[in-house]
Amino acid sequence: MLRPHLSQDRLISALSGRTVDPPPIWLMRQAGRYLPEYREVRAKAGSFLGLCLNPELAAEVTLQPLRRFDLDAAIVFSDILMVPYALGQKVEFVEGEGPKLEPVRSAEGLARLDRAAAEARFAPVYETLRLVVTELPSGVPVIGFCGAPWTVATYMVEGAGSKDQAQARLWAYRDAASFQSLIDLLVETSVAYLLGQVKAGARVLQIFDSWAGSLPENEFARWCSTPTRSIVAGVKAEAPDVPIIGFPRGAGAQAETYARETGIDAIGCDTSMPLSFMRETLQARLPVQGNLDPLLLLAGGEPMEARVTTILNTLGGAPFVFNLGHGILPDTPPEHVARLVELVKGKA
């Protein structure tokens, strides 16, 4: 059993443009290796993909952080690479190395992807959501998510994580028309996937564009903002009341046009985003989320506490969701997370 929460739907209130005091808090990668109980379930599942595809175990790890901490949302346990997996690309997570995919780099590679097979492969994620919803108190929504087409494409084309996303950028520069077909396929699949998550109980959505920061402005508009706008429009056509958070990591000053052009309801900001820019340029237009440095959470102590206070003082007076600027790091002591949540909730 999870703790009953006193106030209802704090996250959805903030995402709808209300100032919530204290602000709601959830953390990217809140389920994961920093929790011993996660590592135990992960070992039982064998592979990471096996865990994502096992609804009982995935629901269990989704709920683990909420048993420990007074968080305002759960996020379904899955991965952004579920979409390439569902399209039939070979996806593996190699221990200590991260994801490995059979790279798609040509029209022939693209032609092998199978959109028709995707829905059946998404089914375990939908089942995880259904299980999670039955366990959550009513004021705590579960967040569904997908990767943005650009970020997912970088993994599909590179076949792994990379420091500069060079293969995807080169394809986009050399043959924009065929790269566009990959992006279009990802838009279409992501709309169906997000709507499937909503039908299964997700009440908030987040689109992770982790590599938005690797593109210059024309390409940013074409490969980040425009496909994201298409996804938002496709989801809103069927589910107009589900708030969508966009997270264009590394976008810098381009976050402003992204916020204006995509139709997202709230913007997630990475650690490098100045709080003054978040407040004056972004929060003036829409709710903001972020952006504590995950390394500061790992370090803990006075420097973390001081920064949390600064963030709350700068952004807490308008619609705001407390979060990190990127995912929790595996070496983070869980006690630091407990302390962070207390601080934000004013129970310090």
Which one of residues 15, 23, 30, 192 is an interface residue with ligand CP3 (CB under 6 A)?
30
Q: Scanning residues 163 to 222, which ones bind ligand CP3 (CB under 6 A)? A: 208, 210
Work out how close the CB of 210 gets to ligand CP3 at its nearest, in angstroms, rounded to a whole number.
Answer: 3
Answer yes or no: are the C-beta atoms of 90 and 109 closer than 8 Å.
no
Closer residue to ligand CP3, CB minimum distance, 241 or 331: 331
What separation in angstroms does the CA of 258 have from each of 114, 262, 286?
A: 30, 6, 12
What CA–CA distance (Å, rounded) separates 167 from 183?
A: 15
Closer residue to ligand CP3, CB minimum distance, 147 or 227: 147
Q: Scanning residues 91 to 120, which ones bind ligand CP3 (CB under 6 A)? A: 93, 98-99
What CA–CA distance (Å, rounded) separates 172 from 168?
A: 6
**Nearest residue relative to ligand CP3 (C-beta):** 210
- Cis check for the bond before 240: say yes or no (omega within 30 of 0): no
Active site residue 33: yes
- Mapping DSSP to helix (H, G, I), strand (E, B) and coil, where does residue 244 land? strand
Under the binding rule (CB under 6 A), the answer on residue 325 touching ligand CP3 is: no
Closer residue to ligand CP3, CB minimum distance, 2 or 348: 2
What CA–CA distance (Å, rounded) separates 135 from 63?
A: 8
**CB-based contacts of 150, cutoff 8 Å, min separation 6:** 168, 183, 209, 211, 212, 215, 223, 224, 227
- Cis check for the bond before 22: say yes or no (omega within 30 of 0): yes
Q: Scanning residues 270 to 309, which ones bind ligand CP3 (CB under 6 A)? A: none
Instruction: Select the span of 7-15, 78-86, 113-121, 222-230 touching ligand CP3 (CB under 6 A).
Output: 78-86
The encoded tokens of residue 41 equal: 């379930």
Under the binding rule (CB under 6 A), the answer on residue 244 touching ligand CP3 is: no
What single letter denotes the amino acid at residue 153? A
Residue 116 DSSP label: G
Active site residue 38: no
Under the binding rule (CB under 6 A), the answer on residue 48 touching ligand CP3 is: yes
Under the binding rule (CB under 6 A), the answer on residue 334 touching ligand CP3 is: no
Closer residue to ligand CP3, CB minimum distance, 99 or 159: 99
* Active-site position among 9, 34, 38, 79: 79
Closer residue to ligand CP3, CB minimum distance, 17 or 98: 98
- Mapping DSSP to helix (H, G, I), strand (E, B) and coil, where does residue 208 land? strand
Binding site residues, ligand CP3, CB under 6 A:
28-33, 42, 48, 75, 77, 79-81, 93, 98-99, 145, 147, 161, 208, 210, 327
